[in-house]
């Protein structure tokens, strides 16, 4: 039975784990330091995100569920920044304890010229204090009766101890709640009593003492962990090779990954446990949970940095007979995330806009030439009301839905967005195009939004239009032919 992801909105998840602050510094390199043989990175912008167990929380929120978080942070600026970000997401933070004298785990990644140059970690692996342990475990025990699933995100930073896990699993078993852990370390025995753990292949090899080189050694490692730890279930994630679910007294269940371009695997494990947990909270079988988590992981590795998966991305990926072109169609609300991803990948974004009612060769030439000006072409089309206002009664001849499908079928077009003509300024501010392309039937001064594009660091390029052709002319010729007939 397929998973109904619309049920995610009704799920309530508890996430217990190591909370981190991810800092991204984006810059360029154009020289070597005179002080030492190292690159000099000129920082252009910075970005902060919640990572570790916080990224699990972020993934769940992005898919519409309610989340309560339990973990430990410091009392300084970074701790306050994390609490602020959680509050913006609407997360229940009553289980997050600020421990005096303990730093908030922070990972700073420096990215220059599309390359990950350096990572700086500021953290401690010291086990949490007894008062902190007591506060967090009491919160967990009080919260478990009201949640559907408990997710445990262990990054080995001193929170997920044997004592905490023992109290957590006891409470979960008492209230018949599923617990899912993303484990860390060589000794998985502390996870005994957890419903299922989700190590990656490297972690499974280290924990089992079996070097995983092929399918047979993978199966050997999985079965050894299952027996030694006393688990009912184990999911080993294998990157490009998919995932394998091990269950007591059952044949291993293998799911192959779909071939995708991989940009960044950081955070993929967070997405796996988040989506697996939501699927289980929605009543799915373990096998269906594995399939959905595998699909989600395939999507997130195509993004840069710790990223999330949207409902629309999951829905599109789950429909084998769905129009594959639908992934090109983006709503105005989806653009900020899309553009952020494109910029992180160093893509030059080209925007062109218009009615594009009754597509003709002039439009095709415009799209083809526009695409050559950058890496990604976004085509913004006026909605039906805007076309009618611009072109007059009887227009558009082809509705927005059909125009979107036609444009999405063109290889030169990467994304299509429908907008109202009075939203063009907002559209430009969101996309911040490197190039705004228009036909040369306009003058540069006539191009609406030119000044804004240039203020944002872009430029306007007029594409030569050599043929005397337009949608209006074609439509008038058809009308004239009908009249003569």
Residue 253: partners with Cβ closer than 8 Å, 6 or more residues away = 244, 245, 247, 287, 290
Contacts of 368 (CB under 8 A, 6+ apart): 412
Closest CA to 171 of 197, 138, 196, 198: 138
Handedness of CA 174, 178, 180, 186 (dihedral sign): positive
The answer to whether the CB of 309 falls within 8 A of the CB of 271 is yes
In the chain, what is the straight-line distance between the N-terminal and C-terminal CA atoms, in Å? 56
CB burial of residue 111 (10 Å; 0-12, 13-18, 19+):
buried
Nearest to 423 by CA among 340, 337, 353, 328: 353
DSSP codes joined into one string, 180-203: EEE--SS-GGGGTT-SEE--BHHH
What is the C-alpha to C-alpha distance for residues 164 and 455, in angstroms, rounded to an integer?
Answer: 54
Which tokens sit at 171?
């409470």
For residue 55, give the nearest of 250, 274, 333, 227 by alpha carbon.
Answer: 274
* d(C-alpha 257, C-alpha 261), whole Å: 12
Total residue count of the chain as it appears in this document? 485
Q: Which residues contact 87 (CB under 8 A, 6 or more apart)?
A: 93
- The CB-side HSE value for 145 (13 A sphere, CA atoms) comes to 4
Q: Residues with Cβ < 8 Å from 131, sequence gap 6 or more?
A: none
Nearest CA-CA partner of 59 in 282, 273, 313:
273
Place of tokens 């239009």: 465
The DSSP element (H or E) to which 94 belongs, if any, is strand 92-98
The token pair that represents 434 in the structure block: 């490197």
- The number of angstroms, rounded, from the C-alpha of 431 to the middle of its chain's C-alpha atoms is 18
> Pick the catalytic residue: 154, 270, 382, 414?
270
Q: Measure the CA–CA gap between 182 and 199, rounded to whole angstroms.
A: 6
Q: What is the dihedral of CA 204, 208, 212, 214, to 10 degrees?
A: -100
Tokens of 267: 């955070």
Catalytic (active site) residue 270: yes
Angle, helices 130-143 vs 162-174, to 10°: value is 20
Active-site residue numbers? Answer: 270
């Amino acid at each position: 039975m397929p998973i109904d992801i619309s049920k995610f909105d009704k799920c309530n998840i508890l996430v217990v784990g190591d909370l981190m602050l991810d800092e991204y510094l984006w810059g360029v390199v154009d020289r070597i330091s005179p002080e030492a043989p190292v690159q000099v990175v000129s920082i252009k912008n910075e970005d902060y995100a919640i990572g570790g167990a916080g990224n699990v929380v972020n993934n769940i929120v992005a898919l519409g569920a309610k989340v309560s978080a339990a973990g430990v942070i410091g009392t300084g600026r970074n701790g306050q920044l994390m609490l602020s970000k959680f509050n913006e997401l609407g997360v229940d933070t009553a289980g997050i304890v600020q421990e005096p004298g303990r730093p908030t785990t922070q990972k700073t990644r420096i990215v220059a010229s599309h390359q990950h140059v350096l990572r700086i970690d500021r953290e401690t692996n010291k086990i949490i204090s007894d008062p902190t342990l007591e506060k967090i475990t009491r919160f967990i025990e009080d919260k478990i009766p009201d949640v559907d699933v408990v997710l445990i995100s262990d990054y080995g930073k001193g929170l997920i101890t044997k004592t905490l896990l023992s109290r957590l699993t006891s409470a979960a078993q008492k209230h018949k709640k599923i617990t899912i852990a993303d484990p860390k370390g060589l000794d998985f025995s502390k996870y005994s009593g957890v419903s299922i753990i989700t190590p990656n292949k490297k972690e499974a090899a280290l924990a089992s003492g079996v070097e995983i080189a092929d399918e047979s050694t993978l199966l050997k490692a999985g079965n050894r962990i299952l027996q030694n730890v006393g688990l009912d279930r184990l999911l080993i994630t294998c990157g490009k090779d998919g995932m394998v679910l091990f269950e007591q007294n059952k044949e291993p269940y293998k799911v192959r990954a779909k071939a995708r371009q991989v940009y960044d695997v950081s955070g993929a494990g967070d997405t796996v446990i988040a989506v697996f947990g939501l699927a289980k909270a929605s009543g799915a079988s373990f096998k269906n949970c594995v399939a959905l988590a595998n699909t989600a992981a395939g999507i997130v590795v195509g993004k840069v940095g710790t990223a999330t998966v949207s409902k629309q991305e999951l829905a599109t990926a789950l429909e084998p007979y769905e129009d594959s072109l639908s992934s090109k169609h983006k709503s105005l609300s989806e653009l900020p995330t899309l553009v952020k991803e494109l910029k992180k990948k160093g893509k030059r974004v080209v925007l062109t806009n218009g009615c594009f009612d009754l597509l003709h060769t002039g439009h095709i030439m415009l799209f083809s030439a526009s695409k050559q000006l950058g890496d990604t072409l976004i085509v913004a089309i006026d909605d039906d009301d805007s076309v009618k206002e611009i072109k007059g009664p009887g227009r558009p001849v082809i509705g927005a839905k059909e125009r979107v499908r036609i444009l999405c079928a063109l290889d030169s077009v990467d994304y299509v967005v429908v907008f109202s003509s009075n939203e063009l300024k907002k559209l430009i501010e969101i996309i911040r195009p490197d190039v705004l392309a228009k036909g040369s039937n306009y003058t540069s001064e006539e191009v609406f939004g030119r000044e804004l594009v240039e203020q944002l660091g872009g430029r306007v390029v007029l594409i030569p239009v050599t043929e005397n052709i337009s949608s209006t002319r074609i439509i008038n010729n058809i009308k004239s032919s009908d009249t003569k007939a």
